Amino acid sequence: MTSLYSEVDLPHKPSDHPDWQESWVLVFRDPITGATGFLRTGAYVNQGATQTHWGMALPDGTRFRRHLLDRKLEKGDRTETTASSGTAKFSIPDMKYCRFEAWDDDAEVDLRVYDWFPSQDWSFVGGAYHGKLLGSIAGPEQATMGTSGHPESAGRLEGRVRFGNRVIDIENGLAYRDHGFGDRPHAVFRAARWHAGTVGPDMSYSLVSMMDEPGNLHKMGWVMLNGKRETIKDLHTVSSTLCDGYSVIGGWSVVKLENGEILRINVDTVDGVVTSTHFDNGGPGSSPAGIEALSIPRWNGRSGVCDFNMIDNPLRGEQPVSNTLMANCDVGLTKREFDPQWIRQ
């Protein structure tokens, strides 16, 4: 049986750039319990540092977040087929499925993703490179995106997660996974939206819109529809954000395909996880704080899982965020006080 996986899904040889990085991301949801989460394991290889970004949530407001940033890269952390960041690990056992593991006193993850299709790289939407794959070009456009390649996929999820003493076994969950590699120098861009997820085998997607520091707008992405990759003609993502300026409660994306079809994907957010490259909540020398909005996408009568990521930084500042209503800035196992349900009526 031919494997869906290839060398593009495994660890890559780094360039000489000091900010070359590689990471693997899992976004998951169990439809039975509503458990959802975000896990990233990666490394700035030439800086000798690894990173774990990890957040999970339950519908009742139970949440967990623990990042481990700038840990020393140790021998054995990166092999030809695995990558570890101390508290998280990615692997593809026998090239049959993707395994994500993470461990902490307050939480645990051991999940397997059985992809529905081979990894898909971003394509440019609009501009001179419209329709071209990110990995097929070089130069300023690629450098602006902070990656040389972004192979992604989605699939069925199984395994177990733990919140404190509560263990949840997952048999038929939904998962979206991401893998980015390349030179990623520090950039204080103005805004970004990354809406990436799946509603099942019929439709999965990754939709990126980003305004860089000088004010140039970039769009990228892909859509897999009924087993076929469709070319995106244009896209827009609209985030509904609370008064703290960071807490996303949902929104929608509209995608116009080259064949004339228009897709609208509506989103309800379960909880948010604050992430940044070098400090938990952002700060000088770290990327603008982003919100990994762990969410439920809805399309054509189906629901799934997505990261409805939002970064707003129009003044190009580098201060950390705090006191957010629905974007977790805390550490460890906590309970969210804010209840968004009454404002969704």
Give, for all 345 residues of the chain, the pLDDT tens digit.
688 999 999 999 999 999 999 999 999 999 999 999 999 999 999 999 999 999 999 999 999 999 999 899 999 999 999 999 999 999 999 999 999 999 999 999 999 999 999 999 999 999 989 999 988 877 666 566 656 789 999 999 999 999 999 999 999 999 999 999 999 888 888 899 999 999 999 999 999 999 988 889 999 999 999 999 999 999 999 999 999 989 999 999 999 999 999 999 999 999 999 999 999 999 999 988 999 999 999 999 999 999 999 999 877 788 899 999 999 999 999 999 999 888 887
Specify the pLDDT at position 146.
Answer: 59
Backbone angles phi, psi at 156, to 5 degrees: -80, 145
For residues 169 and 160, is the Cβ–Cβ distance under 8 A?
yes
Specify the pLDDT at position 315.
Answer: 75
Write out the two tokens for 292: 């990994």
Cα 166–chain centre separation: 25
The dihedral built from the CA positions of residue 331, 63, 171 and 230, taken in this order, carries a sign that is: negative
DSSP bridge partners of 31 = none
For 144, the enclosing helix (H) or strand (E) is: helix 140-145
The pTM for the full model equals: 0.95
Nearest Cα to 265, choosing from 311, 328, 227, 221? 221
Specify the pLDDT at position 213.
Answer: 86
Question: For the chain, first and last CA: distance in Å?
Answer: 49
CA distance 36 to 253: 20
Distances (CA, A) of 225 to 8, 129, 205, 229, 236: 22, 22, 8, 6, 18
Q: Say how many residues make up the chain.
A: 345
Specify the pLDDT at position 143.
Answer: 61
